[in-house]
């Protein structure tokens, strides 16, 4: 079966750095997405990786290793507004997104 694993919850301190990991086993791979979802709101797109390596976008970076079935989202200079759930999703061979359950990130002052 297809599976996306990410930690359920993480806690970090304002101003610090946090890394949220995602491992996947899917039928085929056509890219990996990270979304941010604040409580009670819709998911919003953060990043997309289809080739191995690091993609940097401001305070957020996303890394992919296809051979290891592994990705991480790196958030730097954490702000209180970064408190949210972070969803990892893989596009499979049918070009459908398979979603992880999300990682709830709690930022403490």
Does 30 participate in binding other proteins (rule CB under 8 A)?
yes
Compute how many residues bind other proteins; rule: CB under 8 A: 20
Q: Which phi and psi angles does 82 have, rounded to 5°?
A: -80, -5
Does 29 participate in binding other proteins (rule CB under 8 A)?
no
Does 22 participate in binding other proteins (rule CB under 8 A)?
no
- Please report the DSSP string for 34-62 in residue order: EEEE-TTS--EEEEEE-SSEEEEETTEEE
Does 91 participate in binding other proteins (rule CB under 8 A)?
yes
Among 16, 17, 54, 101, which residue sits at the site for other proteins (rule: CB under 8 A)? 101
Q: Which phi and psi angles does 57 have, rounded to 5°?
A: -145, 90
Among 22, 98, 105, 107, which residue sits at the site for other proteins (rule: CB under 8 A)? 98
Does 18 participate in binding other proteins (rule CB under 8 A)?
no
Q: Which phi and psi angles does 72 have, rounded to 5°?
A: -140, 155
Among 1, 39, 45, 51, which residue sits at the site for other proteins (rule: CB under 8 A)? 45
Among 43, 64, 82, 86, which residue sits at the site for other proteins (rule: CB under 8 A)? 43
Does 48 participate in binding other proteins (rule CB under 8 A)?
yes
- Per-position b or e across 9-41, b if 16+ CB within 10 A of its CB: ebebeeeeebebebbbebeeeeebbbbbeeeee
């Amino acid at each position: 079966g297809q599976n996306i694993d990410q930690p359920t919850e993480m806690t970090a301190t304002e101003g610090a750095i946090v890394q949220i990991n995602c491992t996947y086993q899917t039928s085929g791979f056509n890219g990996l997405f990270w979304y941010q979802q604040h409580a009670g709101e819709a998911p919003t797109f953060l990043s997309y990786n289809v080739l191995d390596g690091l993609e940097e976008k401001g305070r957020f970076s996303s890394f992919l290793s296809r051979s290891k079935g592994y990705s991480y989202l790196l958030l730097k200079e954490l702000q209180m507004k970064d408190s949210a759930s972070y969803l990892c999703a893989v596009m499979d061979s049918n070009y459908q997104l398979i979603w992880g359950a999300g990682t709830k990130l709690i930022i403490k002052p």
